[in-house]
Amino acid sequence: MHSAPSFTAPAHPTPAPHGADDTGRLDATARFVREQDTSLLLARVLPGLDGPELRAFTDQCRFAHAAVLVFPPDEAALRSGLAGCGLDAGAPARPSVVVRDRLAVRYGHRPADLDVRILRPAVRGPAGEHRAVEVFALTVPPGSALAGIAAGERALDHEAHLAFDVERPDPLVLRGLVASFARHGAAPDGGGYNPHEDGTVFYLALPDGTKTPYRRVELYARGDHRDVLDEHLRRIPAPWSASPLGAAPPAETLLRLLTGAWTTQALATCAELGLPEALDLHTGTPVPELARAVGARPESLGVLLRYLAMLGVVADAPDGFRLTDVGALLADAAPSSMRPLALMYGGPFYRSFAHLTHTVRSGEPAFEHLYGENHFDHFARDPELAALFDRSMVASAPLFDALPSHPVLSAAAGAPGGPRTVVDVAGGTGALLGRVLTAHPTLRGTLLERPHVLAAARRHLAALEADGRCAFQEGDFADVPAGADVYLLSRVLHDWDDEQCRSILRHCAAAMGPDADLLVVERLLPADGSPSLATAWDLHMMCNTGGSERTAVQYAGLFAACGLALVGHTPLALGAHALHVRRAAPGVTA
């Protein structure tokens, strides 16, 4: 038996099947991959699989690789270690976005500070199958501040996993496979989309009864399946929960759920104190120094910071507390800052939720019961609160990232003839329209909004140098301008009940020409009752606006009642969808 040089001396013993050093762990992983039969391995991964279900799994999946994370000081040492295990590194290492981001969250580092690479040396299975050893390598030079990550990962091997390629990765197959793992006790454990190889991964934590030394499985699907991935990730418990909620004793599960209000207020307080501005992403700051900077009592601030560290908003570094990438989103100057959302959810909306029982009993929005008027009217009379609300809407702007490339907008931008016009109905401060006009310089825009919002919209679009192609129209839904090519109605309908939605849509339909398109951006309630951001926002809308989230079928019914037809819908970020609507064909009625 040969011996190979180790990359570094281990800080802790590594559990089976891995050896005590990086090279030993590589060697053990390679042997495992070469020896496994897919069907037998699946039966060991989930011992509860019966014959028919096991055959279905085997038809849909094939064992592709086992993964190991190592920590070479540089790429030359990595390749030397691979060669010592009889593994050919082959092509240059590529970035690993998924593992980089997982390590960043787990250890409170900026993703940009972690150089995680991926190599897949090829090996053969027992019947000559093409397989690989998936090697993730985090470069840890001698004396690096990343040594703690190496020690922690060698001890616990979070990233060691088995991987199965999904043979026909359509959404139904992916949802079925993930649901089958869940039925046998596996829990969602992360995942991501890797643009470098156009592949989507779903990680699952295996139950205690598994008969392999691995505790995680990866399902790999070629292509972009982020809509299915979002459903998968939403099933992961809150980051401070050490185990899936369903696995905890009922009393502990309920206790954790009951403390959700504490989290909201802790985040709002973090934003209100200006902690993100006082903290640094790279180096720690002692509590007394932070307390002086934000005007707080050191002992009290320390309690808050420990809780925020548990949430992953700050990290407790040896030299004090520092900001994480999650916490950085609460900084006022951060791109797409979520500080206004934190202040809204921890302020007026938090107070209205205290009256949720009244809403459930009476049907009256708690906001109106508490403040005596509709929340739009209430905000309009308070310029400071109105500005905060408008900024909070901008905080969700990432859901617009993919919308400018929607075929309807791309077709309008490329159509022959004169400039095409896009009207954004109740478009707020122009976050969406600005993106559309920036992406398509041939388009012109019109923003319809209330007078007190248009001033901020003009400033926003001027900063994008798009105001020269945009008209600003004061008014409400009855003032939708006629004759445009595309109409946008983003996050509007969920604010209102069905009767008001039909009124809004009739105004849009009256303005639309026979060839005009309407894009409606909303979260869709899942028809099967699966976990969804829309389910949470449905409760929020009921409590604060009297509106609701809806299924695609319910929206189609609203459109049909107004002489419109739902053509289709496509997923966006943050659980939203773009619903494509046109005028219904002549003679078609609801």
Which of the two residues, 562 and 195, has the higher pLDDT score?
562
Domain extent, residue 363, equals: 339-395
Are both 345 and 320 inside the same structural domain?
A: no
Please report the sign of the dihedral spanned by the C-alpha atoms of residue 62, residue 64, residue 68, residue 69: negative
Whether 450 maps to a domain, the answer reads yes
**Token pair in block for residue 34:** 């070469």
Are both 301 and 218 inside the same structural domain?
A: no
Q: State the first-to-last Cα distance of the chain, in angstroms, to the nearest integer.
A: 77
Look at residue 319 and tell me whether its pLDDT is greater than 90.
no
Are both 35 and 93 inside the same structural domain?
A: yes
Q: Give me the CATH number covering residue 265.
A: 1.10.10.10
Q: What is the pLDDT of residues 321-370, one digit of tens each?
A: 988 888 988 999 887 789 999 999 999 999 999 999 999 999 999 999 99
Residue that is last in its domain, among 233, 267, 285: 233
Are both 301 and 175 inside the same structural domain?
A: no
pLDDT at position 152 is 78
Are both 218 and 315 inside the same structural domain?
A: no
Whether 589 maps to a domain, the answer reads no
Residue that is last in its domain, among 380, 395, 410: 395
Q: What is the pLDDT of residues 480-520, one digit of tens each?
A: 999 999 999 999 999 999 999 999 999 999 999 999 999 99
Please report the sign of the dihedral spanned by the C-alpha atoms of residue 234, residue 239, residue 245, residue 247: positive
What is the residue-averaged pLDDT of the chain? 86
Q: Is residue 218 within 8 Å of 203, Cβ to Cβ?
A: yes
**In this structure, what are the phi and psi dihedrals at residue 182, rounded to the nearest 5 degrees?**
-60, -40
Whether 105 maps to a domain, the answer reads yes
Please list the residues that pair with 315 across neighbouring strands: 322
Number of domains in the chain: 4
Task: Summarize the confidence of residues 294-322 as an average pLDDT.
Answer: 90
Quote the percentage of the chain above a pLDDT of 90. Answer: 48
Are both 432 and 512 inside the same structural domain?
A: yes
Are both 194 and 220 inside the same structural domain?
A: yes
Are both 519 and 479 inside the same structural domain?
A: yes
Look at residue 8 and tell me whether its pLDDT is greater than 50.
no
Residue that is last in its domain, among 186, 212, 233: 233
Task: Summarize the confidence of residues 42-56 as an average pLDDT.
Answer: 86
86-95, 170-179, 269-278, 487-496, range with the lowest pLDDT = 86-95
Q: CA-CA distance, 583 to 578, in Å (whole number)?
A: 16
CA 508 to chain centre: 32
Burial class (CB in 10 A: 0-12, 13-18, 19+), 10: buried
Reported as a pLDDT band with limits 50, 70 and 90, residue 19 is: very low
SS3 content of the chain, % helix, strand, coil (to 5): 45, 20, 35
Whether 8 maps to a domain, the answer reads no
Q: CA-CA distance, 297 to 311, in Å (whole number)?
A: 21
**In this structure, what are the phi and psi dihedrals at residue 171, rounded to the nearest 5 degrees?**
-55, -35
Whether 240 maps to a domain, the answer reads no
Whether 5 maps to a domain, the answer reads no
Q: What is the pLDDT of residues 414-433, one digit of tens each?
A: 888 778 999 999 998 898 99
Q: Give me the CATH number covering residue 540.
A: 3.40.50.150
Specify which of 241-250, 403-412, 522-531 reaches the highest per-range mean pLDDT.
403-412
Look at residue 4 and tell me whether its pLDDT is greater than 80.
no
Are both 228 and 253 inside the same structural domain?
A: no
Whether 588 maps to a domain, the answer reads no
Are both 437 and 387 inside the same structural domain?
A: no
Q: Is 158 one of the annotated active-site residues of the chain?
A: no
Reported as a pLDDT band with limits 50, 70 and 90, residue 545 is: very high
Whether 12 maps to a domain, the answer reads no
Please report the sign of the dihedral spanned by the C-alpha atoms of residue 516, residue 522, residue 523, residue 527: negative
Look at residue 462 and tell me whether its pLDDT is greater than 50.
yes
Own/partner contacts of 221-227, CB < 8 Å, gap of 24 or more, are 221/166, 221/169, 221/174, 222/165, 222/169, 222/198, 223/169, 223/198, 223/199, 224/193, 224/198, 224/200, 225/169, 225/171, 225/174, 225/193, 225/200, 226/193, 226/200, 226/571, 227/171, 227/571
Are both 177 and 282 inside the same structural domain?
A: no
Taking residue 97's Cβ as centre, other Cβ atoms within 10 Å add up to 17
Q: CA-CA distance, 589 to 576, in Å (whole number)?
A: 28
Are both 574 and 525 inside the same structural domain?
A: yes
Q: Active site residue: 378, 406, 494, 569, which one? A: 494
Q: Is residue 93 within 8 Å of 75, Cβ to Cβ?
A: yes
Q: Is residue 81 within 8 Å of 7, Cβ to Cβ?
A: yes
pLDDT at position 400 is 78
